[in-house]
Amino acid sequence: MTENRPHGLNLDRDPRKDDRKLKGGPPKQQQEWPGLDRDLDPQADHGEESYVGCNKLEGLKALITGGDSGIGRAVAIAFAREGADVAFTYVEGKEEDDAKETVRWIEEAGRKAIAIGTDLREEATCREAVARTVAELGGLNILVNNAAIHIESGDFRKIPADQLDDTFRTNVFPYLWMTQAACEHLSAGDVIINSGSVVALMPYPPLVEYAATKAAIHNLTRNFAVTLAPEGIRVNCVAPGPVWTPLIASTRDPDFVSQFGGDTLWKRPAQPVELATSYVFLASTDSRYFTGEVFCPSGFETTTR
């Protein structure tokens, strides 16, 4: 008989399982963009102590954009504990400290870690990230397009042209370029997972251009899925609701931060590790019949919003 050991998110092992500091919203705070996890109050739970793997991704090679903190770090840790070697990108010159932490946790899981400091707003750097991953990990099986920015805009009539360009160039173009480059190395059974957002499914005027980029990602997911299905490559999307990451503290005002996630049914934002489990499912053979799907772990009834 196979040993029935716990796997996935095991709260019995989590010293930070008490989320009272996030109930109703975190404490007021603000950081400079792009923010650092070490300066969050409370620090986010990426699964450092709470995620237990069971070899769902044994021997696979993954590349995650924006893997230094937030959802990206949680996914990196979970993938490593499931047996995958992990490369990830981060913003060069700004996120080195968080990137080192991600590397540390991947290596503690006994897997190889590659941290790629870069700027993904150019096609050449996207292709370089994929090429380096393949060269140093020996292949590529899982691509997670996750890096993104948002800037609180308020009234769409006042969004500057350079802000609009930067948001789309950061949030949409790399998803296409990374996928184009990755497809040269992916084969049947391999997967692509995109990070969308619940705001793509409803009006959200404070982040109108960000919401539009996420809606574009949802649509790209479905188009990629149809195009790549004959090759046996699955493409899906995770569209989170509020998640406690440095991006929130570094792009929203303190009053907003203090209420962040308080309107969900759980009265708090998600911890990044609570999203990572969706990415593990979509990366593993557990989801081999799923493609073109948009998963929405939002903390509320998405269809009624």
Distance, in Å, from the CA atom of 277 to the CA atom of 51, rounded to the nearest integer, reads: 9
pLDDT value at residue 274: 94
Question: Which residue, chain included where needed, has tokens 């969004």?
Answer: 159
Q: What integer pLDDT is reported at residue 119 of this predicted model?
A: 95
pLDDT computed for residue 43 by the predictor: 84
At residue 187, the pLDDT reads 98
- Residue 66 falls in which region: left (phi positive, over 0), alpha (psi -120 to 50) or beta: left
Give residue 35's pLDDT. 75
Cα 226 to chain centroid, rounded:
23
Ranges of residues in the chain with a pLDDT under 70 are 1-7, 9-21, 301-305
- β-strands 234-238, 191-195: how paired? parallel
Residue 235: what pLDDT?
98
Amino acid found at 180: Q
* Rg for the chain, CA atoms, rounded: 18
What residues are annotated to the active site?
210
* DSSP E strands, the chain: 8-9, 51-52, 61-64, 85-91, 113-118, 142-145, 191-195, 234-238, 294-295
pLDDT at 151: 84
Domains in the chain: ranges and CATH: 20-300 (3.40.50.720)
DSSP 270: B
Coil, strand or helix at 152 = coil
pLDDT tens digits along 286-297:
999 999 999 999
